[in-house]
Structure 1
Amino acid sequence: MTNSKAVALAVGFMILLNLTGHCYGALEFGFYNGKCKLSDVEDIVRRTVYSKFLKDRTIAPALIRMQFHDCFVNGCDASILLDGPNAEKTAPPNLSVRGYNVIDDAKAAVEKVCPEVVSCADIIVMATRDVISFSGGRRYSVQTGRRDGRVSLARNTQTLPPPSASVSSAIRAFARKGLNPTDMLYLLGGHTIGIAHCSLFQDRLYNFQNSGKPDPTMDATLIASLRKTCAQNATLDRTVNLDQNPLSSKVIDKSFYNQIMLRRGILQIDQQLALDGLTKSKVAAIAASSDFNTKFGQAMVKMGAIQVLTGTQGEIRKSCRAINPQNMIPIINI
């Protein structure tokens, strides 16, 4: 099967050209100022997201994860939002990604006052910044001006580093996206909030690397505790907090680094950050620092600039879940 046919099966349409008529340049802070008359686009998004956050605070780690999974595939182009039988959201690493309804509602609120101007890709970045600030993180300014991509293929998610990745392979994966090891350490600090399913680390509790024993790098007390939640033959895939400090597992702070230094990391990659010679000294420095929230925000901004579409590239979707109809025709005889 040719690549063209694979794309045809994945998205069902071929993109022609962008007909939205809006001219966009490079990313910039305050990009939408004056583009929606008197409406403040970022405030509309913030208020919409806040109403969702008050009802469900777990949307904070969900949106942080969504932005990461979007940016690490085709770049920050909202391709993770597109529906389709073989779209990115159908790939195994993305089956547990959620928060799509939050982006949908923020997009609908913006469209009411400023139709076909604000991209879904920008809304992901703005909404993620907002939930970080609602969760105790420092509010940071985000660059906007992204346009939405038109390609979403499940197979492209292979660029996402798995939870069992080694530190060196994770560094290489981040480097391919223009992010250095320090950026990686701060971005993985997003695990200061959120959960992990038992299936992602169960081998560490019972049969690490087919040894028949638990991972020797995990604290024995933590192993005993986690086994109560993650039974070896359980049929239900339960969850645990990524930050095992119960006082801060829902707060954006540096506690995650203290926990992994105590060998209380849940995911293998998280624990290895505190043990590997490539990263352990930096982990200790972050744990002792007072500027994690600032550095975390800066790393999120840098990640938000990965392979963005600007200018005449991409489109401004009317719905975050579908390519604009005028920009595609049915595939015929490919």
Structure 2
Amino acid sequence: MAATLVSLALSILFISSSVNALSLNYYDKTCPHLESAVTDAVKNGIVNDKTVPAALLRMHFHDCFIRGCDASVLLESKGNQKAEKDGPPNISLHAFYVINNAKKAVEELCPGVVSCADILALAARDAVALSGGPTWQVPKGRKDGRISKAADTSQLPAPVFNITQLQQSFSQRGLNLNDLVALSGGHTLGFAHCSSFQNRIHNFNGSVDIDPSLKSTFAATLRSICPEHNKVRSAGITLDSTTTAFDNAYYKLLLKGKSIFSSDEALLSTPKTKALVSKFASSQEEFDNAFVKSMIKMSSIPGGQEIRLDCRKVR
């Protein structure tokens, strides 16, 4: 399987590198120990916090879906000028310190050479691999962006989106339905706060309180965790039953009526996307291969103009 994943990476690379000037050997001469430095930072983060892999993967997704993969999600707000990380969908993002630690280590090895965007892409790959998922070669050569606005986070696909909205959001970034279903599998490492799925378990519509697509016993569990007038902001539930392991349990749960977000359930609403869910639920290898292909495609969305010395601020 490893050989298959590498060949997938290379095939996508040939497509993306001609457009975005990304390459596997971008830092071979200028920063040969880059990847090991990033991996060490991610490993150290996981030792202290088992949620780091999920955080890094989500951080990379949220970065790439606004102005491309340019590390704009890492920039700090300045006074009243709120940055992406302070936009409503990103308030729960965390583990920024892992990227900052990785950048510090890389700067000691090769000052002013490696972009924060490349470090984030590598960290997301490591987050998956260190959670028992597939690994792949990351095309490199991204640049860091100078613009980060909290208001732009409204562009991110929302947990309440239906399949039409999801497809539109992904297609605007050059991603298709295969990518949508494969990348949704990243939820295998995720956590959902009550606010992101309250719409399914309380006052679903005028005549029904609970989304009928939810298995009744599962809906009861969700309601017990998230009562209608819940005031605990940290309350919620993991997105699958093996939250620290990168596997295909997410898809198996979808088919059992145990999806969390409306956007998860939406994957079952068309024949093509439902077929993909079924395929990934029945084969870890099929999911791994598709996820790697789509991750390389997504992380190659262009953006950025510079190499930041500090990931938290522009030069």
Same fold (TM over 0.5): yes
Q: What is the letter of the counterpart of residue 258 of structure 1?
A: K
Residues 192 and 255, structure 1, Cα contact 8 Å, conserved in 2: yes
- In 2, Cα distance between the equivalents of 1:206 and 1:178? 35
What is the distance in 2 between the residues matched to 1:172 and 1:178?
Answer: 10
Report the structure number with the largest CA radius of gyration: 1
* CA distance in structure 1 between the aligned counterparts of 2:88 and 2:302, rounded to whole angstroms: 23
- Among candidates 140, 152, 167, match of residue 144 of structure 1: 140
Calculate the aligned-residue CA RMSD, in Å: 1.4
Query: Which position in structure 1 is the counterpart of 2:5?
Result: none
Whole-Å separation in 1 of the counterparts to 2:198 and 2:207: 13
- Residue 210 of structure 2: SS of its match in structure 1? coil
Looking at structure 2, the residues matched to 104 and 302 of structure 1 have their Cα atoms a distance apart, in angstroms, of 25
**Deviation, structure 1 residue 224:** 1.0
2:78 paired with 1:78? no
Once the two structures are superposed, residues 263-288 of structure 1 have per-residue CA deviations (whole angstroms, 9 ceiling, x without a partner) of 10001110121233351122112212
Question: How many pairs does the alignment contain?
Answer: 291
What are the equivalent positions in structure 2 for 1:282-297 lying under 5 Å apart?
A: 282-289=276-283, 290-297=285-292
Q: Which of 78-87 and 111-120 deviates more?
A: 78-87
Q: Which residue of 2 aligns with 1:167?
A: 163
Q: Is the 1:132–1:139 contact (alpha carbons within 8 Å) kept by the matching residues of 2? A: yes
Q: State the match for 1:277 in structure 2.
A: 271
After TM superposition, list the pairs within 5 Å mapping 1:94-105 onto structure 2: 94-105=90-101
Contact residue 163 and residue 269 of structure 2 kept, 8 A: no
Could you say which residue in structure 2 is the equivalent of 1:308?
303
Q: Which amino acid aligns with 1:250?
A: T
SS in 1 for 2:259: coil
Equivalence for 1:322: 313
Cα distance in 2 between the residues matched to 1:211 and 1:135: 42
Aligned counterpart, 1:9: none
Which of 262, 266, 277 is the aligned partner of 1:268? 262
Deviations, residues 111-163 of structure 1 (Å, cap 9, x unaligned):
11111100000000001100110101011110111110111112222221110
Instruction: Give how far 1:239 is off.
Output: 1.6
Which residue in 2 is equivalent to 1:299?
Answer: 294
Counterpart among 21, 27, 31 of residue 32 in structure 1: 27
Q: Where in structure 2 are there 5+ consecutive unaligned residues?
A: 1-19
Instruction: Judge conservation of contact 1:167–1:278 (CA < 8 Å) in 2.
Output: no
Contact 1:259 1:265 in 2 (8 A): yes
Structure 1's consecutive aligned runs of 4 or more residues displaced over 3 angstroms after TM superposition are: 209-212, 275-278
Specify which structure has the higher proportion of helix.
2
**CA-CA distance at 1:210 after TM superposition:** 4.4
The unaligned stretches of length 5 or more in structure 1 are: 1-24, 325-334
SS of equivalent residue, structure 2 residue 258: coil
Structure 2 length-normalised TM: 0.89
CA distance in 2, matches of 1:81, 1:249: 25
In 2: Cα distance, 1:308 partner to 1:32 partner: 19
Which piece of structure 1 moves more, 258-267 or 273-282?
273-282
Amino acid at match of 1:277: P
